[in-house]
Amino acid sequence: VFVFSHPSHNLTLGNQANYERMIKMAQNYYQKEIETMPIEEMKKLQSEKLVKQVKHVYENVPYYKNLMDEKGVKPDDIKSIDDIHKLPFLTKADLRDAYPYGLLAKPLDDCVRIQSTSGTTGRRVVAFYTQNDVDLWEDCCARAIVAAGGTKKDVCQVAYGYGLFTGGPGLNGGSHKVGCLTLPMSSGNTERQIQFMTDLSATILCCTPSYAAYIAETLKEQGYKPEDISLKAGIFGAEPWTEEMRRGIEESLGIKAYDIYGLTETTGPGVSFECSEQTGMHVNEDHFYAEIIDPDTGEVLPEGSKGELVFTSLDKEAFPLLRYRTRDICVLSRKKCSCGRTLIKMAKPMGRTDDMLIIRGVNVFPSQIETVLLNEGYQPNYQIIVDRVNNNDTFEVNVEMSPEQFTDKVSDVLKMEKVLANAMKIMLGINPTVHLVAPKTIARSEGKAVRVIDKRNLI
């Protein structure tokens, strides 16, 4: 057993050589010229692409033409990327209005694929891709895999869902492009995941962070130690996760865990990805131009401000979105990165303009609860239940005890619940009712975890 010194913590690892190889490989690039392009050159490239893209949608998508005409903007008004603020925003409501073909910018004959959101409310979002769109998307995912140290020597286990969800197909395509041996596992069937992971010596795991934590938990139950498995890196995204959760996953699997971000509307995973510095995700800004706006006024905010993230797809052909409001709250930074990439970085999304809970008038982000749990030594297995009784909000948090924490002594449980509720009060400013529940009683997720049950029907 070796101890590898990480800037923020120590990892206890067995297969040190392999781990170090991947850390070293993480200094590589997939498309160096783009990833390290000087900013002025990148601006020029973005400008050329934007001018072309605006013409393309104005001429081919009546929905866009109407939006632009309403705002009094013509394609000729867009001469460089600095003119982007003149364009109208696009929202999820527009996508629903235009469902299914209203935003299509290429003949259906030229499209080779659709992907779709899980869309539990209203109409689903259906995104279309030409072969070129698929290629560019897979390149973006390949950049992420290479930034995590991936090479053709790696075995990449893709445990995101396959199908309409973009996670599986995106990372699958990226893994092929890098030349990794790809295990297209899809999510679920954890026993089989572990069998393939160990028998075929997977070195990279791609899945949601909550599923990674579950796989780690199951491996531990089966008696595996981090040094018994070959995994060295994980590419985790599709849902919010905290730094504390990252450290937990890194320690329990003996890996370096990288964040990856994306959304169906713009392609899927790979809109941005983390590098060895692990201080935010580089946006693939040759394909996706990022802006931060004030969600109330729509005003573009300067670099470093917190606001709503907006993306423009600069070269997507079939389903190009101009100034699409993601509803993710985020910060952008041009700070120099030690990895050598010049691509702008986005922070981990800090919540959404629409998943922020307002409980008894106070803004609550599920990630704050997760931070408290991890600080207090709990696993991030929890569920927030909000209801309204007699015009008052109720706020309950069910938290799972680990087998080590488990006790059936009522006075001990009450004491532990009080400590947790206090810590949450300090973080949030309001008092939740905390219920500690037995190990393994909160349903595990194979995709995105369901953290919030809001029974109030406030909309």
HEC string of the chain equals CEEEECCCCEEEECCHHHHHHHHHHCCCCCCHHHHCCCHHHHHHHHHHHHHHHHHHHHHHCHHHHHHHHHHCCCHHHCCCHHHHHHCCCECHHHHHHCCCCCCCCCCHHHEEEEEECCCCCCCCCEEEEEHHHHHHHHHHHHHHHHHCCCCCCCEEEECCCCCCCCHHHHHHHHHHHHCCEEEECCCCCHHHHHHHHHHCCCCEEEECHHHHHHHHHHHHHCCCCHHHCCCCEEEEECCCCCHHHHHHHHHHHCCEEEEEEEECCCCEEEEEEECCCCCCEEECCCCEEEEEECCCCCCECCCCCCEEEEEEECCCCCCCCCCEEEEEEECEECCCCCCCCCCCEECCCCCECCCCEEECCEEECHHHHHHHHHHCCCCCCEEEEEEEECCEEEEEEEEECCCCCCCCCHHHHHHHHHHHHHHHHHHHCCCCEEEEECCCCCCCCCCCCCCEEECCCCC
The answer to whether residue 380 forms part of the interface with ligand DLL (CB under 6 A) is no
Subset of 314-333 contacting ligand DLL (CB under 6 A): 326, 328
Candidate residues 150, 226, 234, 240; the one interacting with ligand DLL per rule CB under 6 A: 240
Subset of 3-22 contacting ligand DLL (CB under 6 A): none
The answer to whether residue 159 forms part of the interface with ligand DLL (CB under 6 A) is no
Stretch that binds ligand DLL, among 54-62, 150-158, 160-168, 380-388 (CB under 6 A): 160-168
The answer to whether residue 273 forms part of the interface with ligand DLL (CB under 6 A) is no
The answer to whether residue 269 forms part of the interface with ligand DLL (CB under 6 A) is yes
Candidate residues 154, 259, 315, 446; the one interacting with ligand DLL per rule CB under 6 A: 259
The answer to whether residue 239 forms part of the interface with ligand DLL (CB under 6 A) is yes
Candidate residues 15, 46, 264, 276; the one interacting with ligand DLL per rule CB under 6 A: 264
Which residue in the shown chain puts its C-beta closest to ligand DLL? 237
The answer to whether residue 432 forms part of the interface with ligand DLL (CB under 6 A) is no
Subset of 106-125 contacting ligand DLL (CB under 6 A): 117
Residue whose CB is less far from ligand DLL, 351 or 432: 351
Smallest separation, CB 55 to ligand DLL (Å): 28
The answer to whether residue 454 forms part of the interface with ligand DLL (CB under 6 A) is no
The answer to whether residue 349 forms part of the interface with ligand DLL (CB under 6 A) is yes
The residues of the shown chain that bind ligand DLL, judged by CB under 6 A, are 117, 160, 166-167, 237-240, 259-264, 268-269, 326, 328, 348-349, 352
